[in-house]
Amino acid sequence: MKKILVTGAVGQIGSELTILLRDLYGNDNVVAGGRKTRPSEKLMNSGPFEIVDCTDGNRVAEVVKKHKIDAIYHLAAILSAVAEAKPNVAWDVNINGLYNVLEVAREFDCAVFTPSSIGAFGPTTPPDNTPQDTIQRPNTMYGVTKVAGELLCDYYYKRFKVDTRGLRYPGIISNETLPGGGTTDYAVDIYYEAIRQKKYTCFLKAGTFLDMMYMPDALKSAVDLMEADPSRLIHRNAFNVTSMSFDPEMIAAEIRKHIPEFVMDYDVDPVRQEIASSWPNNMDDSAARQEWGWSPEFDLEKMTVDMLEVLGKKLK
Ligand code: AKB
C-alpha cells in the first residue's frame, strides 16, 4: 500500500496532484504538506494535512515517520521570476529543501518525485528540439537550483539507491490554483483576463516560443513516471516532457477563435523576457516517450476550449 506525502500541496501543481493521488491511492494514504498558504476546503476535507516546511528537515522526517510515508512528491519550490528577485530564498528552498527531502527519503526508504524545469537549460543550450542530454548552463538562480537538483537526485539514486525520478516541466497551464512567480505565468493570466476584460497586456514579447503543458497532462506525467517499470528507465532526473510550443501571438489567436473581440498588447518585463529568451523554444521528449510511454492529450486548441469553458463558469 502506497503512503504518499506531497510537499507544496497548496501550490499550483500540488493542489491538483494531491486530489488526483487521493483518487488513485485512497484519501487517507495521501498527506498534503503545506507551509502556510491556506489550503482549499477540498484539500483540507479530503484527507490528512500537515504543516511542512521543507527547509526544516526534522519536520519532514517527523511527518514521514508519523504517516509511514513511502513516496514523496516534492513540489515545494520557488519559481523563476521570484528566484531572480530573492536568490537566497530560492537556494534555501530549492536546494536545501530538496537535500532535506532526499536525506529523509534515504533514512526512511521513500521514493522521490522532483520536478525540474525547462529552466534547467540556458542560453547555450540548442533551443530547437532541445535534446534530453545536452548543454545545461543556465544563467538564472532558478536554473542553477534545477540543474543542481537534477544532479543531486541522480546522486542519491546512484549512491544510496533512493528511487528518485523527475520531469523537466514546461510552463503549466491550469484553471484551479494560480501559479506564483513564474516566467510562463502569462499563458495562464491571459485566459483569466480574456474572460474578465477581453484584453491582456503581455509581459513577454511576440515571438517568444516556450514549451507548455495543460495541467491534466502534467499530473498524468508525474503519476505515470512514478509508476513506470524501473528496469526501462535509462534516465531518471529529469525527463524532457512537453505538449505544445507557442508564442504569445499564437495563444491570443487561439483565444480569439472563441472571443473575437479579445485584444492583446505588450508591456515587456525585461527580467522575465531575459529568462524566457534563455529557455528552449521546444524540447525533444522522445526519451520520455520511449522509456515510460509519455504521450500528452492536450494541444493548444483542445486546452483553449477547456480553459475557456471552465474559467467561463468559475469567473461568472
Ligand atoms: C516558471 O516559469 O518559473 C515555471 C517553469 C517553467 O519552471 N513555470
User: What CATH number is given to the structural domain containing 48?
Assistant: 3.40.50.720
Question: Which residue range is the domain that position 146 belongs to?
Answer: 4-170+214-240
Q: Residues 287-310: what's their mean pLDDT?
A: 98
Number of domains in the chain: 2
Tell me: the pLDDT tens digits for 87-100? 999 999 999 999 99
User: Measured between alpha carbons, how far apart are the two ends of the chain, in Å?
Assistant: 42
State the pLDDT at residue 92: 98
Tell me: the pLDDT tens digits for 227-266? 999 999 999 999 999 999 999 999 999 999 999 999 999 9
Is residue 292 a part of any domain in this protein?
no
Say whether both 227 and 275 belong to one domain: no
Burial 177-194 (b: 16+ CB within 10 A, else e): bebebbbbbbbbebbbbb
State the pLDDT at residue 180: 85
Indicate the SS3 state at residue 234. Answer: coil
Tell me: the pLDDT tens digits for 55-89? 999 999 999 999 999 999 999 999 999 999 999 99
Nearest-atom index, ligand 1, CA of 179: 8
Give me the percent of the chain exceeding a pLDDT of 70: 100
Q: Which residues contact 116 (CB under 8 A, 6 or more apart)?
A: 146, 149, 150, 166, 167, 168, 169, 237, 238
Place of cell 519536520: 59
Say whether both 235 and 191 belong to one domain: no
Residue 142, pLDDT > 80, answer yes
Pocket of ligand 1 (CB under 6 A): 79-80, 117-119, 169-171, 182-184
Q: Residues 141-153: what's their mean pLDDT?
A: 98
| CA distances (Å), origin 125, targets 41, 121, 226 | 43, 6, 27
- Torsion sign over Cα 149, 155, 157, 161: negative
Residue 124, pLDDT > 70, answer yes
CA distance 311 to 316: 8
User: What CATH number is given to the structural domain containing 187?
Assistant: 3.90.25
Residue 303, pLDDT > 90, answer yes
Which runs of consecutive H residues, i.e. helices, occur in 39-140?
41-45, 57-66, 80-85, 87-91, 97-108
Q: What is the mean pLDDT of the chain?
A: 97
Say whether both 62 and 21 belong to one domain: yes
165 within 8 A of 112, measured Cβ to Cβ: yes
Question: Whose alpha carbon is nearest atom 4 of ligand 1?
Answer: 182
Q: Phi/psi of residue 30, each to 5°?
A: -125, 110
Q: Which carries the bigger pLDDT value, residue 2 or residue 288?
A: 288
State the pLDDT at residue 38: 80
State the pLDDT at residue 184: 97
Say whether both 273 and 140 belong to one domain: no
Is residue 293 a part of any domain in this protein?
no
Is residue 185 a part of any domain in this protein?
yes
Say whether both 200 and 144 belong to one domain: no
25 within 8 A of 4, measured Cβ to Cβ: yes
Say whether both 50 and 185 belong to one domain: no
Q: Residues 295-299: what's their mean pLDDT?
A: 98
Is residue 287 a part of any domain in this protein?
no
Q: Which conformational region is residue 129 in: left (phi greater than 0), alpha (psi within -120 to 50 degrees), or beta?
A: left
Angle, helices 186-196 vs 248-256, to 10°: value is 30
State the pLDDT at residue 1: 64
CA of 180 to the centre of ligand 1 (A): 9
Q: Is the pTM of this model over 0.95?
A: yes
Pocket test for ligand 1, best of 168, 169, 209 (most atoms within 8 A of CB): 169
Pocket test for ligand 1, best of 75, 78, 80 (most atoms within 8 A of CB): 80
Say whether both 127 and 56 belong to one domain: yes
Residue 113, pLDDT > 70, answer yes
Residue 37, pLDDT > 90, answer no
Residue 286 is placed in which grid cell? 522522445
Q: Phi/psi of residue 79, each to 5°?
A: -85, 175
Question: Whose alpha carbon is nearest atom 8 of ligand 1?
Answer: 171
Say whether both 164 and 253 belong to one domain: no
Say whether both 70 and 195 belong to one domain: no
Q: Catalytic residue positions?
A: 142
Is residue 37 a part of any domain in this protein?
yes
Tell me: the pLDDT tens digits for 189-233? 999 999 999 999 999 999 999 999 999 999 999 999 999 999 999
CA distance 81 to 269: 10
CA of 314 to the centre of ligand 1 (A): 24
- Torsion sign over Cα 272, 274, 277, 279: negative
Say whether both 111 and 200 belong to one domain: no
Identity of residue 106? R
Is residue 290 a part of any domain in this protein?
no
State the pLDDT at residue 78: 97
